[in-house]
Amino acid sequence: KLVYVLNGPNLNRLGLREPGIYGSQTLDDIGAMLVERGETLGFEIDLRQSNHEGHLVDWLHEAEDNGAHAVLLNAGAYTHTSIALHDAIRSIKVPVIEVHLSNPHLREEFRHKSWVGMAAKGTVAGFGAQSYLVALEAAATL
């Protein structure tokens, strides 16, 4: 079973970027954790990152076309702006789980609205890198 783990803008800077908020683990570290847990859950992990909104739209479509079991999506700041991602999630049948390292609701007002969350199956936020693992466990229940 294939699980796409799609990451949006600035998440390539994880580990360097505001470590007080996002922690010291890199996206590669998170990928390694997911591959390890994925093995026990019977998942093959395809982790990607892009700073470009359209790549994320294309990858959501691709997940559907490739028969993915689920998508974990941390859309970064596009979470709060992107109707295109909202529509892309609604355009596919594969369940999308919204993921955030931080809890956006505890932060600035402009992070309180999530276009991704309004289309996703569910959301895991606020547990740092562990948010991704919790989301993967959730995918195993689907």
Residues 16-45 that bind ligand DQA (CB under 6 A): none
In whole angstroms, the minimum distance from the beta carbon of 19 to ligand DQA comes to 13
Q: How many Cβ atoms from other residues are within 10 Å of residue 113's Cβ?
A: 12
Contact 3, 69 (CB under 8 A): yes
Which is the catalytic residue, given 69, 78, 86, 100?
A: 100
Residues facing residue 7 across a β-bridge: 49, 74
Residues 70-109 that bind ligand DQA (CB under 6 A): 74, 76-77, 79, 100-102, 104
Select 43 or 115, whichever has its Cβ closest to ligand DQA.
115
Residues 105-134 that bind ligand DQA (CB under 6 A): 111
Q: Is 91 annotated as a binding residue?
A: no
Q: Is 102 annotated as a binding residue?
A: yes
In the annotation, is 100 catalytic? Answer: yes
In the annotation, is 22 catalytic? Answer: yes
Q: Does 10 bind ligand DQA (CB under 6 A)?
A: yes
**81 phi, psi to nearest 5 deg:** -130, -20
Question: What's the full length of the chain, in residues?
Answer: 142
**Cα–Cα distance between 78 and 23 in angstroms, integer?**
20
In whole angstroms, the minimum distance from the beta carbon of 123 to ligand DQA comes to 11
The CA–CA distances, whole Å, from 126 to 87, 98, 99, 102 equal 25, 12, 9, 4
Q: Which residues are catalytic?
A: 22, 100
Give binding residues for substrate as ranges: 74, 80, 87, 101-102, 111
